[in-house]
Amino acid sequence: MMQTKLKPFFYLGIFYLLVSLILRIIFIFHPITNADFALFESLKIVAVGLLSDILVFTLASSLLALYFLFLSNSKYRKPYGYIIFGLLMTAFIYTAFVPGNIFRQYGGAFPEVATAFIGLKTLLFGLMLFLPVQRLKIRNILYFITLFLYVVLIIFNAVSEYFFWNEFGVRYNFIAVDYLIYTNEVIGNIMESYPVLPLFSVIFILAAAVTWFIFRRTKDELIELPNFKQKLILLGSFVLLCGMSLVLIPKLNEVKTGNTFAQEIQANGFPKFFNAFTQKELNYFPFYPTLNESVAEQRFLREFKSASLSRIITSPKPELKKNVVLISIESLSADFLAHYGNTQNITPFFDSLATRSLMFTNLYATGNRTVRGLEALTLCIPPTAGESIIKRKNNKNKFTTGSVFKSKGYDVKFLYGGDSYFDNMEDFYKGNGYDIVDRSSFKPEEITFGNIWGVSDEDMARKAIEVMNLEAKSGKPFFNHWMTVSNHRPFTYPDGRIDIPGNAKSREGGVKYTDYSIRKFFKMAKKQDWYKNTVFVIVADHCASSAGKTELPMDKYRIPGMIFSEGFIEPQQFNRLMSQIDVMPTLLGILNFSYRSTFLGQDVFTDDFQPKAYVATYQDLGLVKDNYLTVISPTKKVRQYSLVSQKSGLPEDFRLYFDEIPAKKSVQNLIDDCVAAFQSTSYWLQENKLNK
């Protein structure tokens, strides 16, 4: 009897394992998987993955076990059935009609969800209570729906993981958690990026077919329901199996492989998502290698020739109160520019501007998300474990580039074509003294084109000119930080602007349209009185992709950056290694600003400057220095790579790609430098020492 009751679990489990196996094989041969696997390694990936899938399915099927545990005919007998139905009716009336009920106190959609759930439960119980002849038919329908939900989830998760891999080259991570939180943008992005109707149609048709197959072979389990003893055995078995799964799943995640791709492919997406959700912020000290705190601080601060974090930056020259426009370009990898070897002619304006600017040829982004780039340019500090500071609760009253300009009498604004609540940008920038200009600032007639991410960069360019003209009339200098949006999936933009159609939805089109929009902005700006007294900083927020063979592939962090001011900035190239956090301190140095600073980036033109770069994911933290990449990770792991520039037809300073070769011998002083930088930054943040 109990063996037959396990048939639904058997069929669902086989289906889940088969889908997971197919997904792993797809990942192994996917173009983004830039790694070769030997036969033994492939078998190991599949074997570890299979065991992980079995354990995950065991946990997931516990809900199906509960479903069977609550199946009973005895609960409909008199008087129990009428008592239960009366209680359900009372609960429904309470949730639906009592104004001050406990569910309404939570606000949002919670009361409606509770009312719908209890109402449906009451209706179904009533039908099965008062229509005993139809009870088996109703139970079959509910069983089919339960199986269907399982099958849909399995298929939908596989499709989601495929698209996530296609975008990021990893299983679910904290980005997937963000996608769950920002449903409006994400659903809109999916609707505009993919053929949703055909895709969902295929998913539901396939799910219905699989469900019908399983249902036909297992529906007889509902004719004779398990007795109390059998239910106890079922319950005990699942408690034991789920307990084992909870213990073993984390241990499987610790099984090491030869490279990051193998590690990700053998993993299971559900535990990865859960870990990302529960570990959104990482406390540095329990998880990463550490030094004595005072030793770490002194080691890091010696780069600034200072014994104190707070130090006075003094310029012997008069301060230049020029307007400053900082433009963060969405997802502009260095290899999109002709300067770095691109032959597609998708950045003609950026390339022309670079030849007339101070161009940073060896510049690296700190992370792979927009909020990391904004953090680097605004706070000028190395990235820290977990989410960007922009998305944390303790993100206000920081020492920022905006606070420096504000102390000099500038108007300070953040401009964004989308809804600035996304990624917590509004909360962060308002909490640090910036005024906000975003999509809500536009009149309907000012928007000629928009998608889920916001108004087109072209529309934002016109709004930016309008804002700057008003600021100029006030007689005060202005600092405006503009974050672009158009170079983002679904890569849609108005037709007729560039030679790639707006409905092509191609990355190249998104890049070229952004280039077109920035050209249009400069064309309009050049006609304004404030133009000649303005310095423009153009820098990417991060690269278009961050997937690679190693945790932190160097070529996926290299970004273009330039400072332009007609008649003020002499065209030149700065070819030494530098970080995104160095860009704004360098600009402040060019303007001869004197100020008290807690920035951890440096003016690259000072004698104190040490060439280096910080690169990170939300867990792996890397220091690039002296031709080595040192990476520290949770569980106090340290890895070190020698960086060997690959040969190319480009000048040495523009070579994009590096072979990251595991170091034969650790360079301890670089490991200590890496630990000191990230540990000190984390400590100062924790102690609010980076506040104003």
Residues 6+ apart with CB under 8 A from 279: 386
Is the predicted pLDDT of residue 70 greater than 90, yes or no? no
Adjacent-strand bridge partners of 624: 613, 629
DSSP per position, 66-78: HHHHT--SGGGST
End-to-end alpha carbon distance in the chain: 70
Question: In 488-587, which ranges are E strands?
Answer: 534-540, 558-564, 572-574, 578-579
What is the average pLDDT value for the chain, to the nearest integer? 89
Spell out the long-range contacts of 202-210 with Cβ–Cβ below 8 A and sequence spacing 24 or more. 203/152, 203/155, 203/156, 203/159, 204/152, 206/155, 207/148, 207/151, 207/152, 207/155, 208/148, 210/15, 210/151, 210/155
Asked if residue 31 has a cis previous peptide bond (ω within 30° of 0), the answer is: no
Amino acid identity for residue 76 in this structure: Y
Kindly report the pTM of this predicted structure: 0.73
> Within the chain, how many helices (H) and strands (E) appear?
23, 18
Which range of 128-132, 603-607, 658-662 scores highest in mean pLDDT? It is 603-607
The whole-number average pLDDT for the span 20-25 is: 93
Taking only Cα atoms into account, the Rg of the chain, rounded to an integer number of angstroms, comes to 29
Predicted pLDDT at 171: 83
Cβ 186 vs Cβ 179: under 8 Å: yes
For residue 500, count other CB atoms closer than 10 A to its CB: 20
Burial class (CB in 10 A: 0-12, 13-18, 19+), 308: exposed
Q: Give the model's pLDDT for residue 100.
A: 64
Task: List, in sequence order, the alpha helices (H) in 526-642.
Answer: 583-590
450/486 Cα distance (integer angstroms):
9
Q: Are 502 and 495 in contact (CB under 8 A)?
A: yes
Tell me what the mean pLDDT of segment 364-388 comes to.
95
Rounded alpha-carbon distances, angstroms, from residue 209 to 144, 204, 538, 639: 11, 9, 53, 48
Percent of the chain exceeding pLDDT 90 equals 59
State yes or no: pLDDT of 138 exceeds 50: yes
**For residue range 259-282, what is the model confidence (pLDDT) as tens digits?**
778 888 888 888 888 877 766 667
> Would you say residue 44 has pLDDT above 60?
yes
Residue 569, pLDDT score: 97
Is residue 3's pLDDT more than 50?
A: no
User: Predicted confidence band at 196 (pLDDT cuts at 50, 70, 90)?
Assistant: confident
% of the chain exceeding 70 in pLDDT: 92
Burial class (CB in 10 A: 0-12, 13-18, 19+), 516: buried
Going through 529-645 in order, the beta strands assigned E by DSSP cover: 534-540, 558-564, 572-574, 578-579, 595-597, 613-616, 621-625, 628-633, 637-645
Say whether pLDDT at 575 is over 90: yes
Q: Take residue 596 and report the two structure tokens written for it.
A: 């008290």
C-beta separation of 469 from 449 below 8 A: no
Task: Answer yes or no: is pLDDT of 185 > 60.
Answer: no
What pLDDT is stored for residue 2 in this prediction?
Answer: 45
- Predicted local confidence at residue 172, as pLDDT: 81
pLDDT at 258: 67
